[in-house]
Structure 1
Amino acid sequence: MASNVQPELFRKVRCGAITALYMRDPETKRLGLWLVPTAKAAKLPKRREVIDGVEFDAMLAATNGRLRAWHIESLVQVKALADEPPAGFAQGRTLRNSVTVDRLAFERQAVTRRGGATTVRTSFVHDRDGWRAHHELTWRAGASWLESTTTVENTSAAPVTLEMLASFSISGLAAFASDDAPERLRLHRIRAAWSTEGRLVTESFEDAQLEPSWSCYSVRAERFGAVGSLPVNGYFPFVAVEDSGAGVTWGAQVAHPGSWQMEVYRREDLGAISGGLADREFGHWMKTVAPGEQFTSPVAFVSAVAGGVEDVCAALTAAQERPLAQLPKSERALPVMFNEWATSWGDPRHENMVRLAERLRGSGVKYLVIDAGWYKPDAGSWGDAQGEWQANRAMYPQGLRATTEAIRAAGFVPGLWFEMEVVGSSSPLWNKTEWLLHRDGRPITGGTRRFLDLRQPAVVDYLTARVIGTLREGNFGYIKVDYNETIGFGVDGAESPGEGLRQHLAGVQAFFRKMRAELPDLVIENCSSGGHRLEPSMMALVAMGSFSDAHECREIPIIAANLHRVILPRQSQVWAVLRAEADLRRTAYVLASGFLGRLCFSGDYMTLRAEQHELVARSIALYREAAPVIARGRSHRYGPDVRAYRHARGWQAVVRIAPGGRTVLVVAHTFADPKTRELRVPLPPGKWKIAGELNEGGKGARIVDGEWRWRPGGEWAGCAVVLRR
C-alpha cells in the first residue's frame, strides 16, 4: 500500500539552538508542536504512513482500509467537563486527546518579535460552545529554553468548566526515526523523597510500556507528579525523553508550587509529553471560567537538545537565572552562612547566639541564622508552638532586637526561622478555625500542624504584623521559611479541592512577594523539610533553598550533586555540620560537600580543635575563589552510579566549568570501597594549574595528561579544588 502522505509543515520558527516546527495532520488538520535541535532540523526522515506486518493483512482486506502509523497530536491539550472523555482505554490513565481537542478548530497563529523576545500565539475556537484556547510559546534571545503556557478565554455566553489544562504538549518524539523507533526512546524522571532528593531514574519506553500496541488502538500513558502543597514530594516537576539513536533529548520543567503532573503519551509511532496542573483524575482539580474571564496555566520551560539528559537539564535550569537579577546585593558574592540548628537543636538563646557571633567574628561568614525554637513556650516543643511568633522571654529577656544588635556588631547579617503558613497544636490559633484551611468542612490537620488560609485578607494582615513586623522591628536581614507538612489533595472554598489548593498557594507566593516588596534587602531561604519546594516558581521568589534535611548524613554530596540537574547550585544551600569529635577526614568530607552549592555551617564551631578551625578557615577562603564558578557554570558528574545512598559505595567527582572555560571547580568524594587508589577525571583542553585545594592533608591533587588526579587515601574522603588556566 504505497503512499506519500507525510506530516505537513505549517510554520518553522527558529529559536536559537531550538527550532519549533508547527506540524499539521493532512487528514485531521490538527496542529501540533515538534521541537528539534536547530542543528538537526534538516535531518528528519520520511515517515511510514501505515503499519506493516502480517498481523494486519486480513484486517486490511476485510475493511478495505488502512491503519495509520501516525497522527499529529494537538499542541493544546485541554478537557472540558461538557465534552466526552478520550477512548482507547484512556479513562483513569489520561485525559489527553478528549473530544474537547477534536472540537478545538484552528483559528489563527501570530508571530511577534519584540524586545529580544519571539512569541508564537496559536489560537483555537471550540466549534460548538464558542470559547477559545490560546497557546503561547516564547523564546528570549540567547536562551536555551522556551516558555510555554495555555490560556482558556471564555468568549461564550455560558461558564466553561475545565477538568484538565496542560501548560505544554510536545509531540513527534520519534520524529528522527521513520518507524516507531524500537529500543531507542528512554524516559528520564527525577525522583524525590525526604533526605534522598534528586535521584535520576531512566527507563526504556519498552520497560515503561510505552511501545505502541499491534494495531495502535490502546492508549499508552504514563502520568506522574505530586499532589498537595509539597511540589517535590515523589518527583521533581521534570520529564525528559531521549532518542538514543538520534542523539536528541526533549525536556520540560513545570513551575508550580502545588499539585502538578507530567504525561508521557503514545498511541502510534509518534509519542508526546505534556504537563501542567494536576487534572481532575490525578489532582482533584476542576476550574470554572465565567463568561468574559480567562485562565492561564502555570509556565512550563521546555527544550530540545543535541545530547543527553545532562544536556537538557543544563538547558532547562538556565531558565532559573533570570529572576536572580532581583536579589539583594549581599547575594552577589554567594556569602557563606552559619545556621545554628545543628548547634542547639531547637534551643537557641540570646547568650549562646552572642557567644557564637563573637567566636565567628572575622571568619568570613556573613549570615548568622537563628533557627526553630526561639518562640517556644517554657514547657513544650518548638514543633507544636507555631502561630503567635512571640520570642520566649526567658530565652530573649531583652527581646530579639538586643540579639540582632549584638550579631550585627560582630559583623553579621542576622536571620530568623519561621514556619509561617502553619499553626501548632499548642498555639491559641489552633482553634481559630475561621482562619484555617478546611476539607469536607473540617480543619485540615497533619500531626501537630494545621494550615492558615492565605486566601483571607485577615490572615495576610496577621502574618504581615507577626512575620514582616518581627523582621523589621528586630532588624533582621534574612528569613528562613520552613514548611514541614503537606495539605494534601485539596481544600474547601472553590469549585474543586484542587482549585482551592491552587488559590491558597497563590496566596502563599503573594506573601513571599510582599516580604520582598516591604523589605527589599531581605534574603529569603526556601526550606520545606529540606528539599520539598525546590521547583522553579518558588526558587524565583527566594535567594536560595535548603537542598535537603540530610543534615549530617554521608549521602550529602550525592544529594547535592543530584540537584545540579534541577536547580542552580548558587541557590542550593548545603549543610556542613561540624563536630568536635570528628577526625580531619570526616571534617574535610563535610566541608567539601558544601562546595556543591551554598556553603552553610552548623554544629560545634565553638568547641572545634585548632586543626579543625584551620581547615574551616581554609574552606572559607577557597570558597571565595570558587564562588564565581558555583554561581555560573556547567556541571559534569563522574564516577560509578551509587545505588544505596544510605550505604554508598564507590566514588563521585563533579567538575564544574565556568563560562569561557578558564576556571574549573572539582569536588570529589569517596564512599565505602571506592575500588581505586586514584580518582581520574578529564578536564577541558588547556594548561591547568591548581589555584587552591581543600582536603584533610592540605594537598594531594595533581594534573597529568589533561586529567585531574587525586589519591584520597581511603574511604569517606572529600576534596575541593579550584583550577585555572
Structure 2
Amino acid sequence: MAIIIDEQKKLFTLQTKSSTYQMKADKYGTLLHTYYGAKITPFDMSYLIVNGDHGFSGNPYRAGNERTYSPDTLPQEYSCYGSGDFRPSALKIRRADGSASTELVYDSYQTEDGKYSLEGLPALYLNEGEQAQTLIITLKDESDTVRVHLYYGVMEEADIITRAAVIENTGSQPFHLERAMSLNLDFLSGSRDLITFHGKHAMERQLTRNPIHPGIQSAGSTRGASSHHYNPFMILAGSDTAEDFGDCYGFSFLYSGDFLGEAEYDQMDQTRIVLGIHPGNFNFKVEPGAAFTVPEAALAYTSDGLSALSRIYHNAYRNNLCRGKHKKTRRPILINNWEGTYFDFNGEKLVSMAKEASELGVELFVMDDGWFGNRNDDNTGLGDWTVNEEKLGCTLKELSDRIHGTGMVFGIWFEPECISEDSSLYRSHPDWALKVPGKAPVRSRYQLVLDFSREDVREHIYSQLCSVLDSARIEYVKWDFNRSLSDIYSAVLPADRQGETAHRYVLGLYDMLEKLTSRFPDILFEGCSGGGGRFDAGMLYYTPQIWCSDDTDAIERLKIQYGTSFGYPVSAAGSHVSAVPNHQTGRVTPLSTRAVVAMSGTFGYELDISKMTAAEKSAVKEQIKDFKKYYFLIQDGIYHRLTDPFTDDRYCAWEFSDQDGRTALVNVVNTRTAPNPSTVYIRLKGLCSSALYRINGGQEQYPGSALMNGGLPLPVPSAEYESWQFYLTAE
C-alpha cells in the first residue's frame, strides 16, 4: 500500500518505491511532520520529536500549562502565521477585521485511488495502467471559518510525492490570502547544503551550492514569470552528497509565475523548507463559500546521490507531466531563421533557406519574429497577428505550401502575451495592457504586457492565433515572452482584488495554452521567454520542450545545460547549432562541437545555411544522420553528468546510456587547451560490468567494469574547443 493509516494514532505514512513520508496529528491537533527519507518499515517516527521549554517560544492556549509544547520548535506539515511559529510560514490570512493570526488543527482525512488533478493548473498525471493514491487531510481553525485541504499524491513507482492545497473560506466574511505556499517541510537535524539555480538572460540555471546556515536563504522571482534569474527547483543535500552517493531531496514547483523558495536553519538546528507563490505580488480575496487552489509541488528523495535524484524527475516529467502526441514521438530536426536573418527576410529568402536545409536533412523550417503586422523591428506590431503579405510577397498558405514542397514541415513564432504601443490593437484598446492609471508604464524591449487575467483579452488573441493557424499548414509554434511584468494592475478588478492580478495572469496563460493545444493537438508547441526565462515544470505541462537559452554559444551552453539537467529532462531543452563568431559572445567554436552540444537537447540549427561552405554542409548531413541514430538514446536514455563544468575548466563530459546499459553515448568537449597536457581519464557510468564494449565500431573490446572504474583516456586535443563522441555497444 502506498498510503498506510493508523486511525487510532492519527498517523499517516506515505510509501514510494524508495522513500517514506510521514505525518501525525498530535494530542493537541497539530499536524506534525515526523519523517521524510529512505524507505523504512512503517513505524511511528514521532519519537524523534523531543520537546523542551525554550525561551521566547510561546505555547498555544489549547496546550494549557505545558510550556514545553511550542509551534516555534515543532516540525509542522503546514505552518501558519500568527500561531506562535516565527519561522517562514506556509499560510497567512488577513481577516475582515484586519487580524492575521491563524491556528490550524486536524479535522479529518480521506483517501482516493489515483492521482488528484487541479482545475486550471498543471499537475502530474497517470498514464493508462499506472497506479497511485491520493491522501487529503483537512485542517481547520478553531472558529471553523477556514479549512485547509492538504493534497498528497503518492506516485509509488515514479518515486514522487506531490503536494497541493485548497484553502476554503467556511465563514461568513471574506478574507485575504497574503501567503499560500505549496510546500512546508521541516527537518529535525542534519548538516545539509542548499542547491539553487541562478542566472540572468542568456546565462540561466547556474548552479549554486551553499551550506545551510543560521538565518533564511531564499531564491525566487517577482517578475511575473519564473525568470532567467532563479529557477523554481531546489535541492537539499547532505554535505557529503555527490553525484552517485548521499542523501538528497528535490523540490520542484509546477508553476510559471512568481515563486519563492526559502530555507531557514533555526534556533534548534532544524531546517525548514517552504516553496510556493511569492507573496510579493500576491494578495487573493476569498469570499465566503469560495476556495483558493494552491499550485502543485513535486518532491523526491534518494540516498543514491544527485544523478539518481535527477533521473527521478527526468522520468516523471517525460512520462507524467508532458502531454500530447509529441511527448514520446521523435521530434523533427529544425532550422530557425532568427539568427540567420533577424527581421531582414521575405518569402523568397525563407524558401531559399528551406530548400538548402532540406537537402541536408533538416525536417522543419521555423519562421521567427517579423512576419506579421508592421513588424520590421522590435518596436512595433505586437498584438496585430495578421500576416504581412506585402513583406512576405505571398500569403501564409502559399509560403507554407512552398516550404512543404521542399519536403519540410513549417513552423511559426508568436509572442501573444505582449503588445507594442505602435500597434492597431493598442490604439484600439490601451486598457488591455497592464499599467497603472495616471502613471507612465515601465517599458521593456519597447513593449507592454497584455492583461491575460482578462477573458476578453484572451479571447481576442485566441481568435487571432486560430485564424493564423487555420490559414496554412503549420506543424510547430514557438511561444515567446520577452519581458517581465511590471505595473501589475488590471483595469477590470476592484481595488481590493488588484493583488490577484499576477496569479490570475498565470491562470489566464494556462487557460490559453490549454485551449490552443486542445484545438491544435498535432502542433508541436515550444515554450520560450527570451530563451530560458520560463523554463519550469508548469510550462512543460503545455509545451513538451522549451528554448533553453538565447545564448547559443556552445561553450556557454555547457554550463546552462548542465544546470538544467538537475531538474529537467534533455527532451525538454531546445538547443541549436548557430553560426560563428557566435552572436552573443563572439566566440568561434568548431561546427562539430556546436553539434555535440546541441544534440543534448531537441537539436536544430539557427543560421543561414547559404553562407556555409560545401564541407560544412557535408558535415551537417552527417550530424543529422548521427542525431537520428542516437535520438531515442538521447531523449529517453539515462543521463549521466561525468564532470562538473563549474569546477573542471579543461573538459566537460556527459553520457547517455540505455535502460539496460548495453548502449551508451559519451560526449566530451575540451574547454581549455594547455601545452604538454597530462592524460585525462573519464570514468563512465551506467554500463554492464561484465559486458564487453566496442567504441565507435572499433575492433578493441573493453569490459564495462574497466570503463567505469579505470575510465576512458581522452585524446590530446589538436585545436581549441575540440569535441568527441564515443558510441559504445555491448557484444
1:368 is matched with which residue? 365
Query: Compared with structure 1, are the counterparts of its residues 666 and 703 closer, same or farther at alpha carbon in structure 2 (3 Å cutoff)?
Result: farther
1:715 is matched with which residue? 720
Q: CA deviation at 1:527?
A: 0.9
- TM-score, length basis structure 1: 0.84
2:261 is matched with which residue? 262
Question: Which residue identity lines up with residue 430 of structure 1 in the other structure?
Answer: Y
Question: 1:401-426 CA deviation, whole Å, 9 max, x = no partner?
Answer: 11110111111111111111111132
Task: Tell me which of 470, 473, 492 is aligned to 1:472.
Answer: 470
1:221 and 2:241 correspond: no
Task: Tell me which of 377, 380, 385 is aligned to 1:384.
Answer: 380
Instruction: Please tell me whether the aligned partners of residues 313 and 568 of structure 2 are also in contact (alpha carbons under 8 angstroms).
Output: no
Q: Distance in 2 between matches of 1:373 and 1:363?
A: 26
Task: Tell me which of 132, 144, 150 is aligned to 2:159.
Answer: 144
Instruction: Please tell me whether the aligned partners of residues 229 and 486 of structure 1 are also in contact (alpha carbons under 8 angstroms).
Output: yes
Q: Distance in 1 between matches of 2:199 and 2:45?
A: 36
Q: Distance in 2 between matches of 1:511 and 1:298?
A: 17
Question: 1:676-725 CA deviation, whole Å, 9 max, x = no partner?
Answer: 444523242232223579xxxxx999999313333133431122333222
Question: 1:606-664 CA deviation, whole Å, 9 max, x = no partner?
Answer: 23222212221111111112211222233222235426xxxx93211011222222222
Q: CA deviation at 1:339?
A: 0.6
Instruction: Please tell me whether the aligned partners of residues 226 and 233 of structure 1 are also in contact (alpha carbons under 8 angstroms).
Output: no
Q: CA deviation at 1:576?
A: 0.6
Q: Secondary structure at the match of 1:619?
A: helix
Q: Distance in 1 between matches of 2:515 and 2:229?
A: 30
Q: Distance in 2 between matches of 1:257 and 1:149?
A: 15
Q: Secondary structure at the match of 2:173?
A: coil
Q: Distance in 2 between matches of 1:385 and 1:659?
A: 49
1:543 is matched with which residue? 544
1:230 is matched with which residue? 225
1:58 is matched with which residue? none
Q: Distance in 1 between matches of 2:284 and 2:277?
A: 11
Q: Distance in 2 between matches of 1:529 and 1:668?
A: 28
1:57 is matched with which residue? none
1:681 is matched with which residue? 683
Query: Compared with structure 1, are the counterparts of its residues 162 and 48 closer, same or farther at alpha carbon in structure 2 (3 Å cutoff)?
Result: closer
1:199-598 correspondence runs (5 A): 199-206=206-213, 209=214, 220-244=215-239, 247-267=246-266, 268-279=268-279, 283-322=280-319, 326-328=323-325, 332-375=329-372, 377=374, 380-431=376-427, 432-439=429-436, 442=439, 444-447=441-444, 448-488=446-486, 490-492=488-490, 493=493, 495-552=496-553, 554-579=555-580, 586-598=590-602
State the Cα RMSD in Å. Answer: 3.4
Query: Compared with structure 1, are the counterparts of its residues 639 and 499 closer, same or farther at alpha carbon in structure 2 (3 Å cutoff)?
Result: same
Q: CA deviation at 1:585?
A: 6.2
Instruction: Please tell me whether the aligned partners of residues 553 and 587 of structure 2 are also in contact (alpha carbons under 8 angstroms).
Output: no
Range that drifts further, 242-251 or 470-479? 242-251
Question: Which residue identity lines up with residue 21 of structure 2 in the other structure?
Answer: A
Determine what percentage of the aligned residue pairs are the same residue.
Answer: 18
Q: Distance in 2 between matches of 1:312 and 1:498?
A: 36
Q: Distance in 2 between matches of 1:444 and 1:692?
A: 62
Q: CA deviation at 1:146?
A: 1.2
Q: Distance in 1 between matches of 2:219 and 2:435?
A: 26
1:671 is matched with which residue? 671
Q: Distance in 2 between matches of 1:625 and 1:64?
A: 68
1:613 and 2:609 correspond: no
In the alignment of these two chains, the number of paired residues is 669
Q: Secondary structure at the match of 2:204?
A: coil
Instruction: Please tell me whether the aligned partners of residues 186 and 203 of structure 1 are also in contact (alpha carbons under 8 angstroms).
Output: yes
Q: Secondary structure at the match of 1:688?
A: strand
Q: CA deviation at 1:286?
A: 1.4
Q: Distance in 1 between matches of 2:457 and 2:620?
A: 43
Instruction: Please tell me whether the aligned partners of residues 570 and 597 of structure 1 are also in contact (alpha carbons under 8 angstroms).
Output: yes
1:212 is matched with which residue? none
Instruction: Please tell me whether the aligned partners of residues 241 and 251 of structure 1 are also in contact (alpha carbons under 8 angstroms).
Output: yes
Query: Compared with structure 1, are the counterparts of its residues 106 and 368 closer, same or farther at alpha carbon in structure 2 (3 Å cutoff)?
Result: same
Q: Distance in 1 between matches of 2:588 and 2:181?
A: 52
Q: CA deviation at 1:107?
A: 0.8
- TM-score, length basis structure 2: 0.83
Query: Compared with structure 1, are the counterparts of its residues 318 and 265 closer, same or farther at alpha carbon in structure 2 (3 Å cutoff)?
Result: farther
Query: Compared with structure 1, are the counterparts of its residues 456 and 109 closer, same or farther at alpha carbon in structure 2 (3 Å cutoff)?
Result: closer
Q: Distance in 1 between matches of 2:498 and 2:650?
A: 46
Q: Distance in 2 between matches of 1:543 and 1:48?
A: 43
Q: Distance in 1 between matches of 2:692 and 2:253?
A: 41
Q: Distance in 2 between matches of 1:593 and 1:608?
A: 19
Query: Compared with structure 1, are the counterparts of its residues 623 and 326 closer, same or farther at alpha carbon in structure 2 (3 Å cutoff)?
Result: same
Question: Which residue identity lines up with residue 572 of structure 1 in the other structure?
Answer: A
1:217 is matched with which residue? none
Question: Which residue identity lines up with residue 719 of structure 1 in the other structure?
Answer: W
Question: Which residue identity lines up with residue 14 of structure 1 in the other structure?
Answer: Q
Q: CA deviation at 1:265?
A: 2.8
For structure 2, which runs of at least 5 residues remain unmatched after alignment?
A: 1-8, 55-64, 94-98, 115-129
Instruction: Please tell me whether the aligned partners of residues 225 and 237 of structure 1 are also in contact (alpha carbons under 8 angstroms).
Output: yes
Instruction: Please tell me whether the aligned partners of residues 24 and 32 of structure 2 are also in contact (alpha carbons under 8 angstroms).
Output: yes
Question: 1:410-446 CA deviation, whole Å, 9 max, x = no partner?
Answer: 1111111111111113213334212222335657442
Query: Compared with structure 1, are the counterparts of its residues 324 and 721 closer, same or farther at alpha carbon in structure 2 (3 Å cutoff)?
Result: farther
Instruction: Please tell me whether the aligned partners of residues 118 and 138 of structure 1 are also in contact (alpha carbons under 8 angstroms).
Output: yes
Q: Secondary structure at the match of 1:150?
A: strand
For structure 1, which runs of at least 5 residues remain unmatched after alignment?
A: 1-7, 54-62, 175-180, 210-219, 694-698
Question: Which residue identity lines up with residue 200 of structure 2 in the other structure?
Answer: A
Question: Which residue identity lines up with residue 109 of structure 1 in the other structure?
Answer: Y
1:175-190 correspondence runs (5 A): 181=190, 184-190=191-197
1:160 and 2:175 correspond: yes
Q: Secondary structure at the match of 2:391?
A: coil
Instruction: Please tell me whether the aligned partners of residues 664 and 727 of structure 2 are also in contact (alpha carbons under 8 angstroms).
Output: yes
Range that drifts further, 330-339 or 255-264? 330-339
Q: Secondary structure at the match of 2:288?
A: coil
Q: Distance in 2 between matches of 1:620 and 1:488?
A: 42
Q: Distance in 1 between matches of 2:497 and 2:71?
A: 39
Instruction: Please tell me whether the aligned partners of residues 517 and 523 of structure 2 are also in contact (alpha carbons under 8 angstroms).
Output: yes
Q: Distance in 2 between matches of 1:604 and 1:633?
A: 32
Q: Distance in 2 between matches of 1:403 and 1:263?
A: 50
Instruction: Please tell me whether the aligned partners of residues 594 and 600 of structure 1 are also in contact (alpha carbons under 8 angstroms).
Output: yes
Instruction: Please tell me whether the aligned partners of residues 134 and 151 of structure 1 are also in contact (alpha carbons under 8 angstroms).
Output: yes
Instruction: Please tell me whether the aligned partners of residues 240 and 252 of structure 1 are also in contact (alpha carbons under 8 angstroms).
Output: yes
Q: Distance in 2 between matches of 1:9 and 1:306?
A: 28
1:48-67 correspondence runs (5 A): 49=50
Q: Distance in 1 between matches of 2:430 and 2:539?
A: 27
Q: Distance in 2 between matches of 1:45 and 1:129?
A: 27
2:5 is matched with which residue? none
Q: Secondary structure at the match of 1:365?
A: coil
Question: Which residue identity lines up with residue 155 of structure 1 in the other structure?
Answer: T
Query: Compared with structure 1, are the counterparts of its residues 501 and 630 closer, same or farther at alpha carbon in structure 2 (3 Å cutoff)?
Result: same
Task: Tell me which of 64, 72, 75 is aligned to 2:74.
Answer: 72
1:178 is matched with which residue? none
Query: Compared with structure 1, are the counterparts of its residues 542 and 661 closer, same or farther at alpha carbon in structure 2 (3 Å cutoff)?
Result: same
Question: 1:205-239 CA deviation, whole Å, 9 max, x = no partner?
Answer: 13xx3xxxxxxxxxx43333111222133211012
Q: Secondary structure at the match of 1:299?
A: strand
Question: Which residue identity lines up with residue 407 of structure 1 in the other structure?
Answer: I
Q: CA deviation at 1:594?
A: 0.9
